[in-house]
Amino acid sequence: MKIQSLSIVVPTKNKCVNACKFCVSRTHTNPYDDKISSVVKEWNEDIQCTDGIYYYENSIEYKDYYNRLQFARDNGCNVVVLTGTGEPIQNPKFLDFFSEINDTLTTPFKSIEMQTTGVMLDEESVAHLRAIGVTTISFSISNIFDNDKNLELIGCHNKLKFDLIETINLVKRYDFNLRLSLNLVNDYDNYTVQHVIDRCKELGADQVTFRKLYKSELNNEIDKWIEKNASVNFYNELVEYVKENGKFLGILPFGASSYNIDEMSVVIDDDCMSEDIKETYKYLVLRENCKVYTRWETKSSLVF
């Protein structure tokens, strides 16, 4: 078995600081028990047992978690994606914990990506992410031209409002790999593909991922929003544009094809729920219950 990437759910107690209009996590409570947070607490308290071993190291949950990380490494997985049902930066202690546990694996993960809207990232937190080994910041962006519109679409709380371009510049200054993941809402239908590509280039992107928005079968308020607000025209133009102007680079760790356009890696991620999984898993998800799954949407995809 070959695993291309491991998505790690950073526990955020079921609550995200944002309220993205298209967020599927907002429509249900997280059904997975959080068993790792108590380990993180014990790790943070630094209590040693009488035999000199730290208290948390003796817990079954810790061993379960460690074994899943090691399992991914043993099966050829090189990339970790810090993500979840909230902003990973909401739980800095967990990020520290992950970094320390990673260092104890027989061969630690070297390629570590964090997915974020950019909220709560400041100089201190960005420097900290660099120090704990994060290599790529992947910004989820719903409007790359209009900051206020972007904040509105991600449901950013008034107290947490930020300037996305300033945050991107900060991340560039710390020399992270910069990925812009553009959620294809219909605002993009007002722009040409060339215009969007030029904007990404101007912002210094190393990689750009275009994410098509998909409805679930639930037909809930999020699905209705997506039906009304997902881009149609831009997406079709994009596919044509990439065919005409892109030079195929290869298949990325999460399974999508990458093309060179203007010295940026450009990816159209329209296949995040691929059925065509054989000997290779596009990704595995390590949940807060210390178990790994092959799918986000169902417990039935449990590996162990």
Positions in the binding site for ligand SF4 (CB under 6 A): 16, 18-20, 23, 25-26, 85-87, 117, 154
Residue closer to ligand SF4 (CB basis): 5 or 18: 18
Asked if 246 contacts 261 with a C-beta cutoff of 8 angstroms, the reply is: yes
Residue closer to ligand SF4 (CB basis): 59 or 138: 138
Q: What angle do CA 239, 180, 69 make, to 5 degrees?
A: 105
Provide, rounded to whole angstroms, the least separation between the CB of residue 185 and ligand SF4: 13
Alpha-carbon Rg of the chain, whole angstroms? 19
Provide, rounded to whole angstroms, the least separation between the CB of residue 26 and ligand SF4: 6
Provide, rounded to whole angstroms, the least separation between the CB of residue 106 and ligand SF4: 32
Read off the amino acid at residue 195: H
Provide, rounded to whole angstroms, the least separation between the CB of residue 244 and ligand SF4: 32
Residue 151 backbone phi and psi in degrees, to 5 = -65, -35
Provide, rounded to whole angstroms, the least separation between the CB of residue 50 and ligand SF4: 42
Residue 118 Rama label (left phi>0; alpha psi -120 to 50; beta): left
Residue closer to ligand SF4 (CB basis): 37 or 59: 37
Question: Helix 123-131 crosses helix 92-104 at what angle (to 10 degrees)?
Answer: 10
Provide, rounded to whole angstroms, the least separation between the CB of residue 209 and ligand SF4: 15
Structure tokens at 35: 């068993």
Asked if 283 contacts 5 with a C-beta cutoff of 8 angstroms, the reply is: yes
- Give CA–CA dist 224/221, Å, rounded: 5
Residue closer to ligand SF4 (CB basis): 77 or 154: 154
Residue closer to ligand SF4 (CB basis): 89 or 261: 89
Residue closer to ligand SF4 (CB basis): 156 or 242: 156
- Classify 196 as helix, strand or coil: helix
